Homo-oligomer: A and B are copies of this chain.
């Protein structure tokens, strides 16, 4: 296979906003909205405090906003911080084919750039679509072999997406776009070993920062390989045991990976989502309050108990690894956001009583996005629910209204209701903004 990198670079510099189908444009707005909510919501997490304490002394001019906070940093450091914040709750978007979280590396890079240089909303949204296209296609070419080796693909592929999107906004020609991908690729990194530590969300942040730097270096004539993707000692051979370059080069401009983006309705691992979804549906249909429930029986995919089988979580974070706790808060609160995974929630006696009444059985015949829920009431009645596809899946995507509600749950604690409302509106209107930097300036408490 020849010229993989060149073909991709050529597309990235030539694609036009006018050629994006409206559903693709709308999915880009949804991706932006969801990313923004996660970044604002995550901005006050201790991970950010540590990162800022360590690196702010080295920041350059105050060029860009740390979303949801008062600090302003140079654009490279702002991209890092916003990338970290947007992933810190594990609540950001998912490209299910590769389990890349696409928006973090790309949006964090280009929104910082948009603040420094006056960039229009259409240009920003085109860059977002192209950055996601680059990272997800590169991911498609090496997934799952690359992930199975131990690479955290959001970091390793994300750096290409950030470079592609930023390079497009900097107006790189095809040669320099090729170099930008090369400089990005030779920084591709991030181990799955880091899951469970602050380094996990460091990965999309660093990908955003390093891709943004790569685009600036290429713009100034800093040379790199022209074949970083396909060369025998380049990305796909060095970092994967299998590869399919046609995933990168075929159908460019015809299909769009951002159209396959999905959003998590609940602030926990995706395997519990069908259970939570079904419990919330039963609660709402039957106006359940919890006290009238004698027991809850679940039939779920075997991974659910493997990954989230914690019976008696003691702190909020452990609640995310408990299908039992998740079912209980779904019934009692009708939602499963960050608050329902706080320390107070796992210690709430009502939640504990209900959690202890849950029985879960692994059924190999149940798909990952499927669940059977059966609730037995104190009066002996039995309420059943079969969730064929969980809310948030490709088959049953979250509605725009549900995305807004998720956004409010993340943002209102940080920005308050008025600024939150305005920021939601700006995200929906993003491609019509004269100055896309407005998005960032509106995300300050």
Which A residues have a C-beta under 8 Å from some C-beta of B? Answer: 47, 50-51, 53-55, 57-61, 63, 74-77, 149-151, 155, 182-183, 185-194, 197-199, 202-203, 206, 213, 216-217, 219-225, 227-228, 231-235, 237-238
Which residues of chain B are within 8 angstroms of A54 by Cβ–Cβ distance?
Answer: 213, 216-217, 219-220, 222
Instruction: Determine if B238 and A149 form an interchain contact, defined as CB atoms under 8 angstroms apart.
Output: yes
Q: Kindly provide the distance from the CB of A426 to the nearest chain B CB, expressed in whole angstroms.
A: 26
Q: Return the contact of A203 from the options B50, B149, B186 (Cβ within 8 A).
A: B186
A190 touches B194 (CB 8 A): no
Cα distance A74–B225 in the bound complex, in angstroms? 28
Among B185, B191, B237, contact of A238 (Cβ-Cβ < 8 Å): B191
- Indicate if the CB atoms of A224 and B238 lie closer than 8 Å: no
Asked if A75 and B58 sit within 8 Å, CB to CB, the answer is yes
What are the 9 closest A-B residue pairs judged by CB atoms, nearest first? A150-B233, A54-B220, A150-B238, A193-B233, A58-B74, A189-B189, A193-B234, A192-B233, A50-B222
The answer to whether residues A234 and B51 also contact, given A199-B182, A199-B225 and a CB cut-off of 8 A, is no
Minimal beta-carbon separation of A145 from chain B (angstroms): 12
Q: Say whether A50 contacts B186, CB under 8 Å.
A: no
Closest residue of chain B to A77 (Cβ to Cβ) is B58
A207 CB to closest chain B CB (Å) equals: 11
When the two chains form the complex, which single residue of B61, B190, B223 contacts A197, counting CB atoms closer than 8 Å?
Answer: B223
CB distance from A21 to the nearest CB of B (A): 35
Neighbour of A186 across the interface among B60, B199, B224, CB < 8 A = B199
Q: What are 22 sample pairs from A and B whose C-beta atoms fall under 8 A apart?
A: A50-B222, A51-B217, A54-B222, A55-B217, A58-B61, A58-B74, A58-B216, A59-B60, A149-B238, A150-B232, A155-B186, A186-B193, A186-B202, A187-B189, A188-B189, A191-B233, A191-B234, A193-B225, A193-B227, A193-B234, A198-B224, A202-B222
Q: How many copies does the complex hold?
A: 2
Closest B residue, CB atoms, query A84: B222
Q: How far is the CB of A71 from chain B (nearest CB, A)?
A: 13
Q: Are B234 and A150 in contact (CB under 8 A)?
A: yes
CB distance from A440 to the nearest CB of B (A): 16
A220 contacts which of B53, B206, B222, B232 (Cβ < 8 Å)? B53
**Whose C-beta in chain B lies nearest to the C-beta of A74?**
B58
A311 nearest CB across to chain B (Å): 26
The residue on B at minimum CB distance from A189 is B189
**With a CB–CB cut-off of 8 A, which chain B residues contact A238?**
149-151, 191, 193
A77 CB contacts on chain B under 8 angstroms: 58
Whole-angstrom CA separation of A228 from B296 in the bound complex: 41
Centre residue among A58, A59, A74, A206 by max chain B CB count within 10 A? A58
| A155 CA / B234 CA spacing, docked (Å) | 15
- Chain B residues within 8 Å of A228, by CB: 191, 193
Complex CA–CA separation, A440 to B250 (angstroms): 52
Cβ contact within 8 Å between A235 and B182? no
A60 to B59, CA, bound (A): 5
Could you tell me if B220 and A50 are in contact, using CB atoms closer than 8 angstroms? yes
Residue of B nearest to A232 (CB): B150
Cα–Cα distance between A221 and B233 once the two chains are bound (Å):
36
Neighbouring B residues of A61 by C-beta, 8 Å: 57-58
A186 to B234, CA, bound (A): 18
A73 to chain B, nearest CB (A): 9
Chain B residue nearest to A188 (CB atoms) is: B189
A38: min CB distance to chain B, Å:
20
- A183 cross-chain contacts in B, Cβ below 8 A: 199, 202
A232 CB, min distance to chain B CBs, angstroms: 7
The CA of A224 and the CA of B51, in the complex, are separated in Å by 12
A176 to chain B, nearest CB (A): 11
Chain B residues, CB < 8 A from A188: 189
> Which residues does chain B contribute within 8 Å of A182, judged by CB atoms?
194, 197, 199
Contact B60 A222 (CB under 8 A): no
> Is the pair A194, B55 in contact by a Cβ cutoff of 8 Å?
no
Contact B199 A190 (CB under 8 A): no
Would you give the shortest CB distance from A102 to chain B, in whole angstroms?
A: 20
